[in-house]
Amino acid sequence: KIIRGHADPVVSLANLGNQVFTVDTLGKCVFTDTNEPGTDFHFSGKGHKTPGKSIACNSRVVVSGETSGDVFLTPVDTLEFPSAPISVMGGCADIACPGTEADFAAVVINDFRLVQINYDGSAVELLCFEKSETGTSVSVTEDGKTVAVSVEVRGGAGKLSFYKNTSGRLEKFGDSISGTTAANRMIFTKDSSTLIVGEKSRHVKMFDVVEQVKVTGGGVCHSARVDGLSLSPDGKRVASVGMDGTLAIWELGSRSKPISAKAHRNGASGIGWADEETLVTAGGDNSVRTWTLKE
């Protein structure tokens, strides 16, 4: 069911249960309530001036980034853009927010660097990538203490690394994991033990965070790059969407084939769980849709 139509293609989606936040190619940020269709509205104030790239949230803030590298830290309770953006310089490939128990609002990755965004609007550079590397995706645990970083190495290969985050200082642990392609989207499980990776190569993979080895689960369902991942409220399933417009639902730790369906024309760009039985997706056909799971 279509619950919201943007004027332009939607590039990213984040949600807090039934509260859905989306950003499109014009940089417009919109709030939609899946329980009350028709209540959606644009964020107020002066926002993005260049195309949107990514959006993330926790119960305190919505963090949205654009192609110029400007990032807005918008309070959830007002949805009013701050008077000025935070510049991370170099674009915005991906954003991840920890829970509100962490002492920072988000981490932002772009081609050149990884930046921590604090609630006071300050930005701290955590990593600067080698000239042969391009940042592609980032994820952070709920407590903000572990960060996963993916880069694409010159030639197209991927490198995945894990870091401990202590007051804005990163300490790498374990060896980096090499792959044929880089991650495009990543999320941690609720207990922080597993990292779920959606690759540019269309694979969904799962890694043990402590041992840093691939574990059972995932596979190939999409025929193009994975553009969105979301963990179910009970933590037992992960939903993914791809640039081919399909959505898939995977059982964690299972070799079973995922449930899949065509979700959007012109690609699917984001996915979230509104509740255990309802998914919300966004895509290049300018729409935000809900999906009810059936037994």
- The CA distance from 5 to 227, in Å, is 19
Residues 217 and 186 sit within 8 Å (Cβ to Cβ): no
Give the model's pLDDT for residue 294. Answer: 77
- The CA distance from 128 to 93, in Å, is 14
Complete DSSP assignment for 122-140:
-EEEEEE--TTEEEEEEEE
- The CA distance from 256 to 277, in Å, is 19
Give the model's pLDDT for residue 295. Answer: 61
Show me where the domains of the chain are located. Answer: 2-292
- Enumerate residue ranges in the chain where pLDDT < 70: 295
Give the model's pLDDT for residue 7. Answer: 87
Backbone angles phi, psi at 131, to 5 degrees: -60, -25
Q: Cβ atoms within 10 A of the Cβ of 148, count?
A: 25
User: 221: number of CA atoms within 13 Å, CB side?
Assistant: 27
Q: What is the pTM of this model?
A: 0.95
- The CA distance from 241 to 226, in Å, is 6
Query: Which overall architecture, per CATH, does domain 2-292 show?
Result: 7 Propeller (2.130)
Determine the longest span between alpha carbons in the chain, in angstroms: 50
250-285 as b/e: b if 16+ CB within 10 A: bebeeeeebeeeebbeebbbbbbbbeeebbbbbbbb
Give the model's pLDDT for residue 199. Answer: 96
